[in-house]
Amino acid sequence: MHVPDGYLSPATCGVMYAAAVPFWAVAVARVKKFIGGRTVPLLAIFSAFTFTIMMFNVPVPGGTTAHGVGGTFAAIVLGPWAAVLTTSVALIIQALFFGDGGITAIGANCLNMGILLPFVGYGVYRLIAGHSPMLSQRRVVAAAIGSYAGITAAALAVGIELGIQPHLWSHNGVPDYSPYGFGAAIPAMLVAHLLGASFVEGAITALGFGYLQRAYPEILLRRKDGALTVEERAVRTGARPGVVAAAIASATILVIFIAGLIHGEGRLSHWAGLDWSTVDWPAAGGSVLVSLVVSAVVLPILWFALRHYRSWRAPVVVFIALIIWVPMGLIAPGGAFGEDVSATPGEVQAALAAKANGDSSLYDALPDVNRACDCVPGNMNDVTFANDTLLSGYQPPWVSANDPAWQQNIGYQIAGLGGLALLALAGGVLFAVVRRLLPQAPPDWRTAE
């Protein structure tokens, strides 16, 4: 979903920035009206949630990997304008510090995932939820469907943006930027999401929303305390959001597995179109063992350390657990669509010459981006800002792609914790600035109109 540097023309990037800026300005103005002591922590929490979820890549049908975003979940809980800020902050930090998504493409990525996604998802959620009680099971289903629609709309937008590039910017038949036309880019993005990532997004939102209904209803009800009316208590007693959310999550796993099996022509070794025979399974097992050991040591200590902060204990432990286990996404072969590193012109010419002589091995080994046009896109390699970020690829500088899997696992965890620290710092700075700028105590967000 993250568009890298060089895949969109400068003109396209400029248009995307210009389209995103008004939404950012309105979002800041709208959120500032009800910002208060509890609002900023919630904004920071959802930014951290979005950041963490987007680190967790999962294999999906289509021979690629994808991830959830959590933008619709934030829109449902905080409102779509606040979701614009939480998701955009996470995306900007990912680009500037981790090289996840191009720096030139920040406007496009924020427009797709930080603006279009939460507004579409929230709109579908409200349409399905209607006037049902906030603590009802219908809200869980509505949240799941809204999330599915929101991320699918964002995927379609990315497909259109990539697909239009070779039609508008090319010279002598050689694309300047992304070489994938509409016929390749749109189906690739939609298949990976309609049958994969969109289900994951829906399940994540259903589980999160169901958890809030049970554990923190005051957040959803905009209350300063957890006191429920007789009607709300009756709905809460009769509803079983956890069961509904678990059913949605189970259905998600089943659908993705069957779709991947179909795409792999029934072969588990090529499930979802990925060649699993290329995975170094002993190394993968070592990486899993690392996460198990870290979980067994860190999570109990963290749970005990936060015993006096019960309202924060479960969310913090869940976040850290996700960070510990996100490296499991590195096990899957292949990568995200449209994020290939191009071969050199010499390598492409050698592969084409060998193919003409009947040997297609070099050609088959070329990145998809070169096989899409039998060329090296003219200007795609001119912008490489994201390659030089502090924690490029979610790895500390002392960890490389050639290091053992367990070492990359630890590096990924360190990078994830660094990202959470950056988001916490951003939230703290924002809170301090707001407290200085506001002349008087603001109204609490839970009672604000």
Torsion, Cα of 415, 321, 117, 432 (10° steps): -70
Can you tell me whether residue 440 is helix, strand or coil?
A: coil
pLDDT of residue 438: 55
Residue 353 lies in a domain: no
Q: Count CB-CB contacts under 10 A for residue 96.
A: 17
Residue 331 lies in a domain: yes
Tokens of 145: 């469907």
- Helix and strand numbers, DSSP H then E, in the chain: 18, 4
Diameter of the chain by CA atoms?
79
What is the spatial distance between Cα 94 and Cα 51, in angstroms, rounded to a whole number? 8
Instruction: State how far the alpha carbon of 85 is from the alpha carbons of 92, 247, 349, 443, in Å.
Output: 10, 31, 46, 20
pLDDT of residue 436: 66
DSSP code of residue 66: E
pLDDT of residue 443: 53
Beta-carbon contacts of residue 27 (< 8 Å; ≥ 6 apart): 81, 82, 84, 85, 88
Tokens of 412: 């990924």
Can you tell me whether residue 400 is helix, strand or coil?
A: coil
Residue 346 lies in a domain: no
Picking from 290, 297, 278, 272, the residue whose alpha carbon sits closest to that of residue 328 is: 290
| Domain, as residue range, for 281 | 10-339+391-437
pLDDT of residue 29: 84
Provide the number of structural domains found in the chain. 1
Residue 81 lies in a domain: yes
CATH of the domain at 148: 1.10.1760.20
Residue 2 lies in a domain: no
What is the spatial distance between Cα 113 and Cα 91, in angstroms, rounded to a whole number? 9
pLDDT of residue 77: 93
Residue 345 lies in a domain: no
Q: Count CB-CB contacts under 10 A for residue 377.
A: 24
pLDDT of residue 228: 78
pLDDT per residue over 379-429, tens digit each? 988 887 777 888 888 999 899 888 888 899 999 999 999 998 888 887 777
Picking from 138, 148, 127, 46, the residue whose alpha carbon sits closest to that of residue 426 is: 46
Output the CA angle 337-340-342, nearest 5 degrees.
145
Alpha carbon 263 to chain centroid distance? 23
pTM over 0.95: no
Picking from 405, 401, 364, the residue whose alpha carbon sits closest to that of residue 279 is: 405
DSSP code of residue 6: T
Instruction: State how far the alpha carbon of 250 is from the alpha carbons of 193, 243, 253, in Å.
Output: 17, 10, 5
Residue 383 lies in a domain: no
pLDDT of residue 423: 85
Residue 371 lies in a domain: no
What is the spatial distance between Cα 187 and Cα 304, in angstroms, rounded to a whole number? 48
359-371 burial by CB neighbour count: b if 16+ within 10 A, else e?
eeebbeebbbbbb
The DSSP annotation for 275-334 comes to -GGGS-HHHHHHHHHHHHHHHHHHHHHHHHHTTT-HHHHHHHHHHHHHHHHGGGGGSSSS
CB 290 within 8 A of CB 406: yes
pLDDT of residue 449: 45
What residues form DSSP beta bridges with 66?
58
Which parts of the chain have pLDDT scores under 50?
A: 445, 448-449
Q: H helices within 329-404, ranges in order?
A: 345-356, 361-364, 368-371
pLDDT per residue over 324-347, tens digit each? 998 988 888 877 887 778 889 999
DSSP code of residue 267: -
